[in-house]
Amino acid sequence: MSVHKSDIKKVTTHQLAAMKERGEKISMLTAYDYSMAKIIDGAGIDVILVGDSASNVMAGNETTLPITLDHMIYHATSVVNAVDRALVVVDIPFGSYQGSSTEALRSAIRIMKESGGHAVKVEGGKEIEDSVKRILSAGIPVMGHLGLTPQSIYKFGTYTVRAKEEAEAQKLIDDAKLLEELGCFALVLEKIPSALAERVAKELTIPVIGIGAGSGVDGQVLVVHDMLGITQDFKPRFLRRYANIGGMMTEAVQHYIQDVKSVDFPNEKEQY
Ligand code: KIV
Protein backbone atom coordinates (compact mmCIF):
# COMPACT_ATOMS: atom_id res chain seq x y z
CA MET A 1 0.00 0.00 0.00
CA SER A 2 1.40 3.38 -0.90
CA VAL A 3 1.43 6.06 1.76
CA HIS A 4 0.05 9.46 0.78
CA LYS A 5 1.12 12.60 2.59
CA SER A 6 -2.49 13.09 3.73
CA ASP A 7 -2.47 9.65 5.46
CA ILE A 8 0.38 10.57 7.76
CA LYS A 9 -0.42 12.03 11.15
CA LYS A 10 1.48 15.29 11.35
CA VAL A 11 3.06 16.62 14.53
CA THR A 12 1.42 19.87 15.68
CA THR A 13 2.16 22.35 18.44
CA HIS A 14 -0.87 20.93 20.29
CA GLN A 15 0.57 17.43 20.13
CA LEU A 16 3.82 18.71 21.62
CA ALA A 17 1.85 20.18 24.52
CA ALA A 18 0.07 16.85 24.98
CA MET A 19 3.43 15.03 24.93
CA LYS A 20 4.64 17.21 27.80
CA GLU A 21 1.45 16.53 29.72
CA ARG A 22 1.80 12.78 29.43
CA GLY A 23 5.55 12.88 30.09
CA GLU A 24 6.65 11.78 26.61
CA LYS A 25 9.97 13.38 25.66
CA ILE A 26 10.15 15.42 22.45
CA SER A 27 12.88 14.66 19.89
CA MET A 28 14.17 17.53 17.75
CA LEU A 29 17.06 17.81 15.28
CA THR A 30 18.18 20.46 12.85
CA ALA A 31 18.08 20.04 9.06
CA TYR A 32 18.81 22.47 6.28
CA ASP A 33 18.30 20.53 3.05
CA TYR A 34 15.88 18.14 1.35
CA SER A 35 17.90 14.89 1.51
CA MET A 36 18.80 15.16 5.20
CA ALA A 37 15.28 16.23 6.16
CA LYS A 38 13.82 13.25 4.26
CA ILE A 39 15.95 10.81 6.29
CA ILE A 40 15.28 12.47 9.65
CA ASP A 41 11.55 12.79 9.06
CA GLY A 42 11.35 9.19 7.83
CA ALA A 43 13.12 8.06 11.00
CA GLY A 44 10.27 9.58 13.04
CA ILE A 45 11.68 12.78 14.55
CA ASP A 46 9.03 15.00 16.19
CA VAL A 47 10.40 18.44 15.33
CA ILE A 48 12.84 19.62 12.65
CA LEU A 49 14.53 22.92 13.31
CA VAL A 50 15.79 24.81 10.29
CA GLY A 51 18.33 26.48 12.54
CA ASP A 52 20.43 29.50 11.74
CA SER A 53 23.27 27.11 12.64
CA ALA A 54 23.09 26.58 8.85
CA SER A 55 25.40 29.61 8.85
CA ASN A 56 28.04 27.44 10.60
CA VAL A 57 27.54 23.95 9.23
CA MET A 58 26.32 24.71 5.72
CA ALA A 59 28.21 27.93 4.92
CA GLY A 60 31.29 27.60 7.15
CA ASN A 61 30.81 30.92 8.95
CA GLU A 62 32.22 31.30 12.45
CA THR A 63 28.91 32.61 13.85
CA THR A 64 25.19 32.57 13.01
CA LEU A 65 25.16 36.32 12.37
CA PRO A 66 25.82 36.44 8.60
CA ILE A 67 22.92 34.21 7.48
CA THR A 68 20.11 36.20 5.83
CA LEU A 69 16.34 35.86 5.71
CA ASP A 70 16.57 34.81 2.04
CA HIS A 71 19.08 32.07 2.95
CA MET A 72 16.82 30.80 5.75
CA ILE A 73 13.81 30.72 3.42
CA TYR A 74 15.84 28.74 0.87
CA HIS A 75 16.88 26.16 3.51
CA ALA A 76 13.39 25.99 5.01
CA THR A 77 11.73 25.45 1.62
CA SER A 78 14.08 22.53 0.93
CA VAL A 79 13.24 20.97 4.30
CA VAL A 80 9.47 21.50 3.99
CA ASN A 81 9.57 19.81 0.56
CA ALA A 82 10.91 16.65 2.25
CA VAL A 83 8.78 16.46 5.37
CA ASP A 84 5.64 14.35 5.78
CA ARG A 85 5.29 14.22 9.55
CA ALA A 86 7.54 16.47 11.65
CA LEU A 87 6.72 19.98 12.80
CA VAL A 88 9.10 22.33 10.94
CA VAL A 89 10.33 25.30 12.98
CA VAL A 90 12.39 27.99 11.24
CA ASP A 91 14.85 30.37 12.93
CA ILE A 92 14.32 34.05 12.16
CA PRO A 93 17.90 35.17 11.53
CA PHE A 94 19.85 37.90 13.28
CA GLY A 95 18.81 41.38 12.17
CA SER A 96 15.38 40.36 10.90
CA TYR A 97 13.30 40.83 14.08
CA GLN A 98 15.22 42.89 16.64
CA GLY A 99 14.80 46.29 14.92
CA SER A 100 11.04 46.65 15.30
CA SER A 101 7.95 44.53 15.74
CA THR A 102 6.84 45.50 12.22
CA GLU A 103 10.07 44.12 10.79
CA ALA A 104 9.69 40.99 12.96
CA LEU A 105 6.19 40.36 11.66
CA ARG A 106 7.27 40.96 8.05
CA SER A 107 10.13 38.45 8.44
CA ALA A 108 7.93 35.82 10.08
CA ILE A 109 5.27 36.20 7.39
CA ARG A 110 7.87 35.83 4.63
CA ILE A 111 9.13 32.60 6.25
CA MET A 112 5.64 31.14 6.60
CA LYS A 113 4.44 32.23 3.15
CA GLU A 114 7.54 31.48 1.09
CA SER A 115 8.86 28.31 2.78
CA GLY A 116 5.71 26.66 4.11
CA GLY A 117 7.32 26.23 7.55
CA HIS A 118 4.99 25.64 10.48
CA ALA A 119 6.45 27.93 13.17
CA VAL A 120 9.32 30.34 13.82
CA LYS A 121 11.97 30.56 16.54
CA VAL A 122 13.47 33.74 18.00
CA GLU A 123 16.23 34.35 20.55
CA GLY A 124 15.68 36.48 23.66
CA GLY A 125 13.09 37.46 26.27
CA LYS A 126 11.91 40.86 27.53
CA GLU A 127 13.97 42.75 24.94
CA ILE A 128 12.00 41.21 22.05
CA GLU A 129 8.58 41.17 23.77
CA ASP A 130 6.91 43.45 21.20
CA SER A 131 8.23 41.40 18.27
CA VAL A 132 7.00 38.14 19.81
CA LYS A 133 3.55 39.65 20.50
CA ARG A 134 3.24 40.99 16.96
CA ILE A 135 4.23 37.68 15.32
CA LEU A 136 1.81 35.77 17.55
CA SER A 137 -0.97 38.23 16.74
CA ALA A 138 -0.74 37.11 13.11
CA GLY A 139 -1.43 33.51 14.13
CA ILE A 140 2.16 32.37 13.67
CA PRO A 141 3.39 29.90 16.33
CA VAL A 142 6.57 31.08 18.07
CA MET A 143 9.24 29.02 19.82
CA GLY A 144 11.46 30.96 22.25
CA HIS A 145 15.19 30.44 22.83
CA LEU A 146 17.00 31.45 26.04
CA GLY A 147 20.32 30.72 27.75
CA LEU A 148 23.20 30.68 25.29
CA THR A 149 21.70 32.58 22.38
CA PRO A 150 24.29 32.43 19.58
CA GLN A 151 22.96 35.56 17.84
CA SER A 152 24.26 37.51 20.89
CA ILE A 153 27.69 35.88 20.92
CA TYR A 154 29.54 39.18 20.65
CA LYS A 155 27.71 40.41 23.78
CA PHE A 156 28.59 37.23 25.72
CA GLY A 157 32.15 37.00 24.38
CA THR A 158 32.33 33.20 24.73
CA TYR A 159 30.26 30.04 24.17
CA THR A 160 30.54 28.98 27.85
CA VAL A 161 27.60 27.87 30.05
CA ARG A 162 25.12 30.71 30.73
CA ALA A 163 23.03 31.66 33.79
CA LYS A 164 25.42 30.23 36.41
CA GLU A 165 25.08 33.40 38.48
CA GLU A 166 21.89 34.17 40.44
CA ALA A 167 21.01 37.39 38.58
CA GLU A 168 21.27 35.85 35.12
CA ALA A 169 19.39 32.73 36.28
CA GLN A 170 16.57 34.91 37.67
CA LYS A 171 16.35 36.89 34.40
CA LEU A 172 16.16 33.62 32.48
CA ILE A 173 13.29 32.39 34.67
CA ASP A 174 11.46 35.73 34.27
CA ASP A 175 11.99 35.67 30.48
CA ALA A 176 10.80 32.06 30.24
CA LYS A 177 7.59 32.92 32.14
CA LEU A 178 7.07 36.00 29.97
CA LEU A 179 7.44 33.98 26.74
CA GLU A 180 4.89 31.46 28.03
CA GLU A 181 2.48 34.27 29.04
CA LEU A 182 2.83 35.89 25.62
CA GLY A 183 1.76 32.63 24.01
CA CYS A 184 4.93 30.90 22.76
CA PHE A 185 4.23 27.19 22.18
CA ALA A 186 7.66 25.94 23.31
CA LEU A 187 11.03 27.11 24.53
CA VAL A 188 14.61 26.07 23.76
CA LEU A 189 17.12 26.36 26.60
CA GLU A 190 20.74 26.22 25.48
CA LYS A 191 23.81 25.48 27.59
CA ILE A 192 22.62 26.32 31.11
CA PRO A 193 22.95 24.36 34.39
CA SER A 194 20.69 21.29 34.40
CA ALA A 195 19.08 22.19 37.77
CA LEU A 196 17.97 25.56 36.39
CA ALA A 197 16.63 24.00 33.18
CA GLU A 198 14.70 21.39 35.18
CA ARG A 199 13.20 24.13 37.35
CA VAL A 200 12.06 26.10 34.28
CA ALA A 201 10.56 22.96 32.68
CA LYS A 202 8.64 22.24 35.91
CA GLU A 203 7.37 25.81 36.30
CA LEU A 204 6.22 26.20 32.68
CA THR A 205 3.30 24.39 31.10
CA ILE A 206 4.74 24.71 27.56
CA PRO A 207 7.38 22.17 26.44
CA VAL A 208 10.99 23.08 27.22
CA ILE A 209 13.54 21.58 24.85
CA GLY A 210 17.17 21.52 25.90
CA ILE A 211 20.58 21.52 24.26
CA GLY A 212 23.30 21.21 26.86
CA ALA A 213 20.60 21.70 29.52
CA GLY A 214 20.43 18.22 31.07
CA SER A 215 17.75 15.56 31.16
CA GLY A 216 15.15 17.28 33.36
CA VAL A 217 13.53 19.09 30.43
CA ASP A 218 10.74 17.98 28.07
CA GLY A 219 12.86 17.16 25.04
CA GLN A 220 16.26 17.42 23.42
CA VAL A 221 17.63 19.11 20.30
CA LEU A 222 21.01 18.64 18.60
CA VAL A 223 22.55 19.95 15.41
CA VAL A 224 22.29 16.96 13.07
CA HIS A 225 25.78 17.38 11.60
CA ASP A 226 27.23 17.21 15.12
CA MET A 227 25.32 14.11 16.29
CA LEU A 228 26.08 12.26 13.05
CA GLY A 229 29.80 13.06 13.27
CA ILE A 230 29.83 15.04 10.02
CA THR A 231 31.37 17.99 11.85
CA GLN A 232 34.59 16.59 13.29
CA ASP A 233 36.13 19.21 15.53
CA PHE A 234 33.11 20.45 17.55
CA LYS A 235 33.19 18.43 20.78
CA PRO A 236 31.25 20.12 23.59
CA ARG A 237 30.52 18.03 26.69
CA PHE A 238 26.76 17.92 25.94
CA LEU A 239 27.19 16.36 22.50
CA ARG A 240 26.65 12.63 22.00
CA ARG A 241 27.85 11.33 18.63
CA TYR A 242 25.57 8.60 17.26
CA ALA A 243 27.67 7.87 14.16
CA ASN A 244 30.92 8.74 12.45
CA ILE A 245 29.43 9.69 9.09
CA GLY A 246 32.30 12.13 8.48
CA GLY A 247 34.78 9.24 8.80
CA MET A 248 32.64 6.99 6.59
CA MET A 249 32.43 9.70 3.93
CA THR A 250 36.20 10.23 3.96
CA GLU A 251 36.77 6.48 3.50
CA ALA A 252 34.19 6.26 0.71
CA VAL A 253 35.66 9.24 -1.15
CA GLN A 254 39.20 7.84 -0.78
CA HIS A 255 37.99 4.49 -2.11
CA TYR A 256 36.37 6.24 -5.09
CA ILE A 257 39.55 8.23 -5.85
CA GLN A 258 41.56 4.99 -5.75
CA ASP A 259 39.09 3.24 -8.09
CA VAL A 260 39.10 6.14 -10.56
CA LYS A 261 42.92 6.31 -10.60
CA SER A 262 43.27 2.54 -11.04
CA VAL A 263 40.48 2.43 -13.68
CA ASP A 264 38.60 -0.07 -11.51
CA PHE A 265 35.60 2.29 -11.81
CA PRO A 266 33.58 2.16 -13.98
CA ASN A 267 33.64 -1.56 -14.77
CA GLU A 268 31.92 -3.24 -17.73
CA LYS A 269 28.53 -3.40 -15.99
CA GLU A 270 28.70 0.28 -15.09
CA GLN A 271 28.89 1.54 -18.69
CA TYR A 272 26.73 1.53 -21.84
O1 KIV B 1 20.33 27.16 15.11
C2 KIV B 1 20.27 26.13 15.81
O3 KIV B 1 20.71 25.05 15.40
C4 KIV B 1 19.70 26.24 17.14
C5 KIV B 1 19.78 25.03 18.02
C6 KIV B 1 21.16 24.84 18.51
C7 KIV B 1 18.80 25.08 19.12
O8 KIV B 1 19.19 27.25 17.49
pLDDT tens per residue across span 68-106: 999 999 999 999 999 999 999 999 999 999 999 999 999
Q: What percent of the chain lies above the pLDDT cut of 70?
A: 97
Instruction: Check if 30 has its Cβ closer than 6 Å to any atom of ligand 1.
Output: yes
pLDDT of 68: 98
Substitution site in 49, 90, 96, 191 for ligand 1 pocket (most atoms within 8 Å of beta carbon): 49
Which residue is closest in CA terms to ligand 1's atom 4?
A: 51
Greater pLDDT, 5 or 199: 199
Spatial neighbors of 80 by CB under 8 A, at least 6 apart, are 88, 115, 116, 117
Cβ neighbors of 124 (< 8 A, separation 6 or more) are 98, 144, 145, 146, 149, 152, 175
The pLDDT > 90 percentage for the chain reads 96
Return the active site residues: 190
Give the model's confidence band at 8: pLDDT under 50 very low, under 70 low, under 90 confident, else very high.
confident
Res. 2: pLDDT tops 90: no
Mean pLDDT (the chain, rounded): 96
Confidence class for position 136, pLDDT limits 50, 70, 90: very high
| pLDDT number for residue 163 | 97
Is any ligand 1 atom within 6 A of the Cβ of residue 91? yes
Whether residue 223 has its Cβ less than 6 Å from ligand 1: yes
Distance 208 CA to ligand 1 centre (A): 14
pTM of the model as a whole: 0.96
Is a pLDDT exceeding 60 seen at residue 150? yes
Question: Over 60: is that where the pLDDT of 183 sits?
Answer: yes
Provide the pLDDT for residue 65: 98
Distance 134 CA to ligand 1 centre (A): 23
Residue nearest to atom 2 of ligand 1 (CA): 51
pLDDT score of 5: 60
Q: Is 78 in the pocket of ligand 1 (CB under 6 A)?
A: no
Rounded to whole angstroms, how far apart are CA atoms 49 and 32? 8
pLDDT per position as a tens digit, 17-55: 999 999 999 999 999 999 999 999 999 999 999 999 999
Residue nearest to atom 1 of ligand 1 (CA): 51
pLDDT at 114: 98
The response to whether residue 221 sits with its C-beta less than 6 Å from ligand 1 reads: yes
